[in-house]
Amino acid sequence: MKKYNKNNYSGSPHDSGYSHVKGESVFIDDRPEQAGELHVALVLSTRAHATISKIDSSKALDLEGVEGVYTGADFKQNTWGPIVKDQPLLAESLVSHYSEPIALVVAASRKAAYEGVKLVEVQYKNLVPIFTVDDAIKSKEFLGDEFKIEEGDVEAAFSKSDHILEGTFENGGQEHFYLESQACIAYPGENNELHIESSSQHPTEVQHVVAGALGLKQNQVVCVVKRMGGGFGGKESQASHMAAIAALAAHKTKRPCRLVLTKDEDMKITGKRHPFKNWYKIGFNKNGKIKSLKVSFFADGGAYLDLSPAILQRAMFHVDNAYQLENALITGRVVKTNRSPNTAFRGFGGPQGAAVIESLIEDISQYLKMDALEVRKINLYAKDGGVTHYGQEVTNNFLPEVFEDLEKRVNYKSWRKEIDTFNASETSFVKGLSLTATKFGISFTSRFLNQANALVNVHTDGTVQVSTGATEMGQGVNTKIQGIVAEAFGIDSSDVKLMATSTEKNHNTSATAASSGSDLNGAAALKACVEIKSNLAKLALQIEGNLIKEGEEYNSEMDLDISKVRFENEKILTSSSEYSFKELVGIAYFNRINLGCRAHYKTPEIHYDPAKGKGRPFLYFTNGAAISEVLIDKATGETKVIKTEIVMDLGRPINKGIDFGQVSGAFAQGMGWCTGEVLIYADSGELLSHSPTTYKIPSVQDTPRDFNISFIRNDTNVLNVRSSKAVGEPPFLLGLSVWAAIKNALHYTDDKSFESLMLPATPEIILDSLGEKDII
């Protein structure tokens, strides 16, 4: 089996790499101000739950430079939401979370806008807020209905299990911490038209939300996304909210309006990764084989629905992670709290589901005094596959090869002995080691979102412009599509340019999310290339066979075998002739042959019935595993990641350099969620950790001292474009290897309290778990 490592990859560099380094990349707030442009600032709630008695903007309107103050009453439609329209764009009579937008101030300068915000007076009548999952359950505050997935006979399997463990598992939220905060500029046009430049993962939703909010037709609004300074899911739905607010200002004033949140504002207003509290019961045999699993998921949705149902469903899908569940009863409910509405985040619920089973496997290993890797291997989906608890066959399963490769690569048994020896003699520190997996389903769980369209235009100098619905947020989707198109035409990637994403060129597109941006849009672009290539190949054959008579034109209806016409090395080759790509394109133009094509792609073979809890929601799975070693200082609870080794099955990678960056970045972000990122709130509900000074993301000092990533070769994923596999989200789950290693380290103290170790395992939580007896 051929393997790749970080020193053996090919592919073009990121298409914005040079401009980023040189400081030439243009983001929203880099765009020069137009004449008469105004700035927008938001009035935010200072209550978590209250009715609004009065909004007085008179003092703000008297301030020099302030052009207007607008409230929810100024919208034609003041509610929005990606699934259900339950969230006000601007709260009018009720606020449901601290820092909820209530009004906007429009001014000639950013300074004046923020000064105006201070002068807007809001009167409240306080209501009792709910901040925890437990309190929401007690008060029966839910968003949406309960979901259920059931496989086998759970109760019968429990009665036949040798051992049973029961308890709760909690994970915290996580801030997206993209470098570019929510930002947009709205430019008014003639006939009430609006042009929106947005930092959004979902231009189509921006277009539709803005149109609905202002009472416009969708064809009056164009949304353009050149690039984002990070997204991670936080700009999938919630960028639409900010765009609608900026659009209201532009629509009212008939002047360009810019809304760029500060980092503090962004963190206070926007939703996070969903915290979960789950109740579990697991039955297993003396050899570690899981016989039955029952999990009740409760996701904290915050004040409004947003994308919570879909996120909860994916958590339920991924509770098996890489392990066969023959008998399972998985239920889930979204609870309503007075927090910012939680939203999409890299992994989209998958990490919250996988964390449960990985934690339980560590508990089973401790209970049985077995090595956790042996427990994982006995429960791992076999090479010939299996069936998930929701009824999908696991095909092309390389998980056994990934485990075998990783175990041999690191000499696991020897490594485990070193850990045992260290912990037997050391008193001030303790080490842990764990190997965890990812089997991440690739597709949107809502079937209608699994579609994309692309426009490919070939110009007479042999260069190509490509427009798709994919949005570039640093992940390299443009570079991947560029590679797909360049390979299809056999030309250099520098001759292919990805254009800014625009709703007037690519309509009704899905968000760049669910790890499917390259899959969907790359497949649509390739489909368009195939049609253009067919035209060029037929032309080449007609010229070669003297089938075009003098004075006649190319015949597109002529039945010709184009299968042996090759596009490579900037040439088009027939059995006996060759043409430069540029040359034949020029001939095609003079023969009035179409050199542009729009194509539509929809993901095949996916379906799911939520009522039955069965189906095939995913086209395929991306697999991988990671092993991490940690060192914990018993005096401080500080954790250092000594070494991490990752092996991924990414099919046939489109661009290994881009994929390597995605794996390493996703792992670091997942590790941050598992170890150090904590959201701290005041009793009032105000977020206190709302800046880089109070919210800790991983730094270079937190990353593994020894960090290795390898890919195994797998050409069997023929369902996807170029036999590739998506990479954006799956490696995030491998950050769990660090958390599991911490749990393993704490297990060496033989304290059963570690069964309920919370995620993230911060130094404070580790110290609390260790107790005074273990602190030196």
Q: What are the backbone angles phi and psi of residue 681, rounded to the nearest 5°? A: -120, 145
- Residue that is written with structure tokens 């596999």 in the block: 725
Q: What are the backbone angles phi and psi of residue 303, rounded to the nearest 5°? A: -80, -25
Residue 46 identity (one-letter amino acid): T
Among the options 67, 362, 677, 729, which is catalytic?
A: 729
Q: H or E element: which one contains 39?
A: strand 38-44
Neighbours of 291 (CB within 10 A): 22
From CA 706, how far away is CA 640, in angstroms rounded?
Answer: 11
- Residue that is written with structure tokens 């250092």 in the block: 640
Active site residue 729: yes
Name beta bridge partners: 738.
Answer: none
* 592: alpha, beta or left? (left if phi > 0; alpha if psi -120 to 50): left
Which pair of structure tokens corresponds to residue 512? Answer: 């760049």
From CA 727, how far away is CA 725, in angstroms rounded?
Answer: 6
Question: Hey, CA dihedral for 265, 276, 316, 137, is it positive or negative?
Answer: negative
Distances in Å between the Cα of 458 and the Cα atoms of 22, 532, 553 are 29, 8, 20
Residue 492 DSSP code: -
Residue 322 near residue 439, CB atoms below 8 Å:
yes
Which pair of structure tokens corresponds to residue 434? Answer: 């764990």
DSSP-assigned states of every residue in 615-677:
EE--SEEEEEEEEEEEEEETTT--EEEEEEEEEEE-BS-S-HHHHHHHHHHHHHHHHHHHHT-
Q: What are the backbone angles phi and psi of residue 580, rounded to the nearest 5°? A: -70, 150
From CA 584, how far away is CA 572, in angstroms rounded?
Answer: 8
Residues in Cβ contact with 590 at an 8 Å cutoff, skipping those fewer than 6 apart: none
DSSP-assigned states of every residue in 735-765:
GHHHHHHHHHHHHTTT-GGGGG--BS--HHH
Question: Hey, CA dihedral for 218, 221, 224, 230, is it positive or negative?
Answer: negative
Which pair of structure tokens corresponds to residue 709? Answer: 């990533």
- Residue that is written with structure tokens 């649509």 in the block: 524
Residue 55 near residue 122, CB atoms below 8 Å:
yes
Which pair of structure tokens corresponds to residue 110? Answer: 């950013």
From CA 45, how far away is CA 515, in angstroms rounded?
Answer: 35
From CA 489, how far away is CA 585, in angstroms rounded?
Answer: 11
Residue 381 DSSP code: P
SS3 656: helix
Strands 706-712, 639-649: pairing is parallel
Helix 399-410, helix 412-425: angle, nearest 10:
50
The candidate with the shortest Cα–Cα distance to 288, out of 330, 324, 316, 318, is 324
Name beta bridge partners: 624.
Answer: 438, 648
The candidate with the shortest Cα–Cα distance to 229, out of 494, 485, 473, 449, is 473
From CA 389, how far away is CA 330, in angstroms rounded?
Answer: 9
* Residue 19 half-sphere exposure toward CB, CA atoms < 13 A: 9
Residue 117 DSSP code: H
Active site residues: 729
